[in-house]
Chains A and B, each alone.
Chain A
Amino acid sequence: MMSMQNLILALSRYWAGQGCYLAPTYDLEVGAGTMTPDTFFRVLGRKPWRVAYVQPSRRPTDGRYGENPHRVQKHFQFQVIVKPSPLNIQRIYLDSLVSLGINLSEHDLRFDEDDWESPTIGAWGVGWQVMLDGLEITQFTYFQQAGGLELFPVSVEITYGLERLEMFLEQKDNIYDLKWSDDVSYRDLRFREEKEFSIYNFEQADIAMLQSSFNGAEKEARRLIDQKLLLPAYDYCLKCSHLFNLLDARKAISVTERVKMIGQIRTLVNQIARLYADEEGEN
């Protein structure tokens, strides 16, 4: 019964039952489910919103050439946004774990203070990391700000780390030993990818090309903002963010440049957020 795909199916069914729309995975490289338009744009403004989706999340610096049993440069998040945050959202979340067959009375589940922020998209929130027998399985956040704007009403974001949760369910010590389905393992699907992308991210990525792509994408985003094409402009911000992460993995960014580049992306994202919120306010 236990496998990554059954986990995804169970969580999807549970949250669909909570009135969430099941969004398809977004087709750009992102560092976290928070960054896709289904979260970023929808937490702005006053309209209620409920969404759940699986999002592959790329963090080039976490690559370990397939040699580390826990760290990978791409992992899968199950992202949930509920806006406004229901007053019993913690209980709703606990019930999602119960729906996975976890008997909470046999475990130690804790909500541990852990506030979240993403300087790149001008966002921060307050909440916890959820620890299950010492393993962090979920990030639970009440969004306070995104794109530099105060959010009202407040959305709650629940991000399950799917591999972590599956390792817990299967009681496995090695991520590659997880089952994706009955006869396909995580290793079958991902080992080669991890190895090759680690080599690419850390050793092979062409710094000059990345740098000029970053500049190109940044310029394009700016141009699109002027054209009020906010969704395409935001896509180019996401590209900037991923290119930045690649440059970071190549250790090609000094500390000063790092601050500058993050600031560049944030400025664009904040402009997009403001224009989007203004339009929403008019409608």
Chain B
Amino acid sequence: MEFLLEIMTEELPSSHVKSALAQLEEKFSEEMRNSGLETSELRAIGTCRRLVLVADLGERQPDQEEIVTGPPRTAGLAPDGSFTQAALGFARSQGISVDNLQVLTTARGEYLGFKRLKKGKSTPEILEEKLPALIAALSFPKTMRWSDKSFRFSRPIKGLLCLFGGQIVRVSLEGLVASSQTYGHFIHRPQELSVHSYQEYYQALKDNLVLVDPAERKEKILDGFQKKLSSLKAQVYPDDRLLERLLWNIECPLVIMGSFPESYLSLPLEVLSTAMREGQQLFSVVRGKKQLPYFLGIADAPADPKGYILAGNERVLKARLEDARFFWENDLKVSLAERADQLSAVIFQEKLGSYADKVARVEELVSYIADRLNLRNIKKDLLEAARLSKADLLTEMVREFPELQGKIGGIYAQRQGWSETASRAIYEHYLPVSWEDPIPDSTGGAILSLADKLDTIVGIIGTGYAISGSSDPYGLRRNALGVVRIILDKKFHLSLYRLVDKSISLLQKKLTLPAEQVKTACLELMAGRVRFIFEKRGYGYDLITAALAPGLDYLDFTEARIKALNSLKSSKNFEQFILMVKRVKNILKEAPKSRLDPARLSEKEEKELYSALNIIKKNAEEMMVRGDFAGAQKIIFRLQAPLNNFFDRVLVMAEDKKIRNNRLALLSQVQSLIDQLADYSQIVVTSENS
């Protein structure tokens, strides 16, 4: 039968709606499973004003057999098999005839008792019992109290609607009792609506200006965009985050399109779109990369009969653009270099000093990276960029629109005559801000971003901050992901180990933890991000573990290793080879360390293995230096034949200890060569179980 729950609230933040719906769906389905109620077609939908669950539920819990135990058998049955007083008393207390008692074997021993059918509860009973706690257990990033209640929720709860099979289920929570009533649009149709089914509920809301299904709202919005734009041959500047936010904030979407005076088009696109998005939540309209003097907005209203909504938005936007122009003109009056000189007064982080300190370190790192990558031609520009990179923190534009940091610095730098390379590097150096964000396009931007992020990671970790669970206030994971993505995607051949060392040495005096510990923690963080990226690229978990085992010093090599493994994994020798490697590893597990003495090798097969190993090793290592891991891996497969012969004909565990240790030493040389490529023993092969 149909179940419908609506929790009416004051306007929840849009991120809270989404998470609450996901939690509701999960917790409800779990609760019903635990209660033994059949659940199907469970859906969680809603808006910022209502969280809604719909499902088809069984009518009641199935009846369950219940075991009731009384006295132990020895106390309940006399030696002659007759019931004792204890048994008679127990039967009486349970209201059953003593003849129904039987001997039951339990975990604690044998008892007298009986089985009875426990009647399942009806679904409304279960809902009344479970829903209040389920609602109260929803978690939010921030909660509040209201009125004189101690109850906490994201925003105040206004009412509950709960129906099962068309009947009201009297769920009660904090003084509210569920009914069959809801309300239409809070501003435009606040009337009470009485409903008996989801279909009625959905339709009544729709008639009263609420589209309760987010998919429908989204369709209406996108459709509205298209209608407004078709005549203009223009596109909406994509902003999924804003769209997502508005999707939950609005019950009755109405797309409006307005314009602003063309004179504001002299402001950069970045400034225009930020001024529109922040505060007013408007979308920019572009043709290709060119900003047009139009905007799109989504109102929460059925119509704009007198044009007030559009005119109001236009008026406010104009004021904001006027402000932005004021900041733009004022900011340009002061040179970025002059602002950079004032950075010593701006704290980067309490223990790590000012932004001037940070910039000085970043300059050193940039210089180091440029040298390693042989980028002498742009080094001067990059140092300039590093020096100016944080100057825009002191501009009015960034004070007003913090998310423009970096970008606006780059734009100002270009306007004030710095080179294209330097300006671009500044512009891009916060990228990537998120996983979806691109990495810097220019080499300079990539290097500056890398240096800036590395300094933050090493500094924050080195002063004792550890990431735990969801707590990562300095965004270390995001920064580390940026570092890894940049090195990988830009194919920078850089030693990550030495880069971290360099950064540690620059921060030396400020760090509160020992250098070795800092380095290990930083590399561990990066290894986690490398894994994440490889997983996203579709590599198997076992291959990733295998390829990461030799370390992540040169990330381009780490990547080459996993690519090689991945391309070889379907070749016919692969499985055999893996099994062989596992065999070697097993034998060596408890082997003592000893030196190989070639002169002591006596059997033909061990001599052959030894000479094959030497040739293969020489070739493979040459290939690895060049980064040709696919080649190296193929060569190493050639160890298979001599290894096979060795295992077939030679007894590794020879009686003579010296011979035995020498053979183990030979195998351990084999292993150490293989280890440079991957920890093959991590790889799961199908034939293993057979």
B147 touches A85 (CB 8 A): yes
Cβ-based interface call for A86 (8 A) = yes
Known A135-B316, A152-B150: A108·B144 in contact at CB below 8 Å: no
Residues on the B chain within 8 Å of A128, using CB:
11
A136 surroundings in chain B (CB, below 8 A)? 279
Residues of A within 8 A of B142 (CB): 115, 126
Size category of the B interface is 35 or more
Bound-state Cα–Cα, A107 to B304, Å: 7
Beta-carbon contact of B313 and A133 below 8 Å: yes
**Is B297 a contact partner of A134 (Cβ separation < 8 A)?**
yes
Please determine whether B145 and A152 come into contact, CB atoms closer than 8 angstroms: yes
| B531, chain A: closest CB distance, angstroms | 35
Given the interface pairs A112-B249, A133-B313, A135-B312, the reply to whether A68 lies near B322 with Cβ below 8 Å is yes
A104 with B187: CB separation less than 8 A: yes
Known contacts A126-B142, A152-B145; A254/B308 CB under 8 A: no
Contact A85 B309 (CB under 8 A): no
Determine whether A279 belongs to the interface, using a CB cutoff of 8 Å to chain B: no
Q: Which residue of A lies closest to B16 (CB)?
A: A113
Q: What residues of chain A lie closer than 8 Å to B282, measured between beta carbons?
A: 134
Judge whether A70 and B319 touch: CB under 8 Å: yes
Q: Interface code A80-105, partner B: CB below 8 Å = 1, 0 otherwise?
A: 00001111001100100000000011
Complex contacts, A113 vs chain B, CB 8 Å: 11, 13-14
Interface string of B298-319 (1 = CB under 8 A from A): 0111001110110111011111
A144 touches B345 (CB 8 A): no
Q: How far apart sit A152 and B304, CA to CA, in the bound complex (Å)?
A: 42
- A112-B325 Cα distance, complex, nearest whole Å: 26
Q: Is the CB of A255 within 8 A of B347?
A: yes
Q: How far is the CA of A71 from the CA of B148 in the complex (A)?
A: 38
B158 at the interface (CB under 8 A from A): yes
Q: Report which of A70, A105, A125 forms a contact with B188, defined as CB distance below 8 A.
A: A105
Q: Digit string of A160-176 for contact with B (CB within 8 Å is 1, else 0)?
A: 00000000100101000
- How far is the CB of B298 from the nearest CB of chain A, in Å? 9
Is the C-beta of A142 less than 8 angstroms from some C-beta in chain B? yes
A192 contacts B by Cβ under 8 Å: no
Residue among B147, B301, B319 making CB contact with A154, cutoff 8 Å: B147
B251 to chain A, nearest CB (A): 10
User: Which of B158, B249, B318, B326 meets A110, CB within 8 Å?
Assistant: B249
* Contact among A70, A106, A134, A152 for B313, CB-based, below 8 A: A134
Question: Does B280 sit at the interface, judged by CB under 8 A?
Answer: yes
Report yes or no: B299 in contact with A108, Cβ–Cβ below 8 A.
Answer: yes
**Which residues from chain A contact B490 at a C-beta distance below 8 Å?**
none
Contact A108 B147 (CB under 8 A): no
- State A90–B156 Cα separation when bound (angstroms): 11
Give the chain A neighbours of B308 by CB distance below 8 A.
106-107, 133
The residues of B that contact A10 with a CB separation of less than 8 Å are: none
A69 on interface, CB distance cutoff 8 Å: yes
Q: Do B309 and A108 have beta carbons less than 8 Å apart?
A: yes
Asked if B145 contacts A94 (CB within 8 A), the reply is no
Distance between B20 CB and nearest chain A CB, rounded to angstroms: 14
Assembled-state Cα–Cα distance A87/B315 (Å): 34
* B145-162 contacts to A (CB < 8 Å): 145-148, 150, 155-156, 158
Are B188 and A87 closer than 8 Å at their CB atoms? Answer: no
Closest to A91 in B: B190
Cβ of A109 < 8 Å from any Cβ of B? yes
A256 at the interface (CB under 8 A from B): yes
Asked whether B323 is an interface residue with its Cβ less than 8 Å from the other chain, the reply is: yes
User: How far apart are B502's CB and chain A's nearest CB, in angstroms?
Assistant: 28
Are the CB atoms of B147 and A69 closer together than 8 Å?
Answer: no
For the complex, give the distance between the alpha carbons of A105 and B249 in Å: 18
Q: Write the nearest CB–CB distance from B396 to chain A, whole angstroms.
A: 10
Of residues 310 through 355 on chain B, the ones whose CB sits less than 8 Å from some CB of chain A are 311-313, 315-319, 322-323, 326, 345-347
Residues of B within 8 A of A91 (CB): 190
Please state if B305 and A133 are interface contacts (CB–CB under 8 Å).
Answer: no
Evaluate whether A154 and B146 lie within 8 angstroms (CB atoms) in the complex, with A108-B299, A113-B11, A173-B318 already known.
yes
Q: Distance (Å) between the CB of B259 and the closest chain A CB?
A: 14
Q: Is A202 an interface residue (CB 8 A)?
A: no
User: In whole Å, how far is A279's beta carbon from the nearest beta carbon of chain B?
Assistant: 21
Q: How far is the CA of A173 from the CA of B319 in the complex (A)?
A: 8
Contact A68 B326 (CB under 8 A): yes
Are A256 and B147 in contact, CB atoms less than 8 angstroms apart? Answer: no
Query: Is there a chain A Cβ closer than 8 Å to B403's Cβ?
Result: no
Residues of B contacting A69 in the complex (Cβ-Cβ under 8 angstroms): 319, 322
By beta carbon, the residue of chain A nearest B320 is A70
Known A-B contacts A126-B155, A134-B297, A134-B317; the reply to A70 vs B13 at CB < 8 A is no
Contact A132 B312 (CB under 8 A): yes
A126-B144 CB under 8 A given contacts A94-B187, A105-B188: yes
Instruction: Answer whether residue A49 sits at the interface, using C-beta atoms and an 8 A cutoff.
Output: no
Q: B200 an interface residue at 8 Å Cβ cutoff?
A: no
A119 within 8 A of partner (CB):
no
Query: Could you tell me the distance between the alpha carbons of A110 and B10 in the complex, rounded to whole angstroms?
Result: 11
Near A by CB (< 8 A), chain B positions 130-179 give 142, 144-148, 150, 155-156, 158
Question: Is the CB–CB distance between B144 and A144 below 8 Å?
Answer: yes
Q: Distance (Å) between the CB of B146 and the closest chain A CB?
A: 5
Decide yes or no: A133 and B319 within 8 Å by CB, A144-B144, A152-B148 being known contacts. no
Question: Given A132-B312, A133-B313, A135-B312, are A110 and B145 neighbors across the interface (CB < 8 Å)?
Answer: no
Q: Does A263 contact B (CB under 8 A)?
A: no
Extra 6 A-B pairs, beta carbons < 8 Å, given A108-B254, A109-B187: A68-B322, A69-B319, A135-B316, A142-B144, A144-B145, A173-B315
Please provide the 3 A-B residue pairs with the shortest distance between their CB atoms, ordered closest to farther. Answer: A133-B312, A108-B299, A134-B313
- Residue pairs across A and B with Cβ atoms less than 8 A apart, 18 shown, are A69-B319, A69-B322, A70-B323, A71-B323, A86-B147, A104-B187, A108-B300, A108-B309, A110-B11, A125-B144, A126-B144, A128-B11, A132-B312, A133-B308, A134-B282, A135-B316, A144-B145, A173-B318
Interface positions of A (Cβ within 8 A of B)? 64, 68-71, 84-87, 90-91, 94, 104-113, 115, 125-126, 128, 132-136, 142, 144, 152-154, 156, 168, 171, 173, 254-256
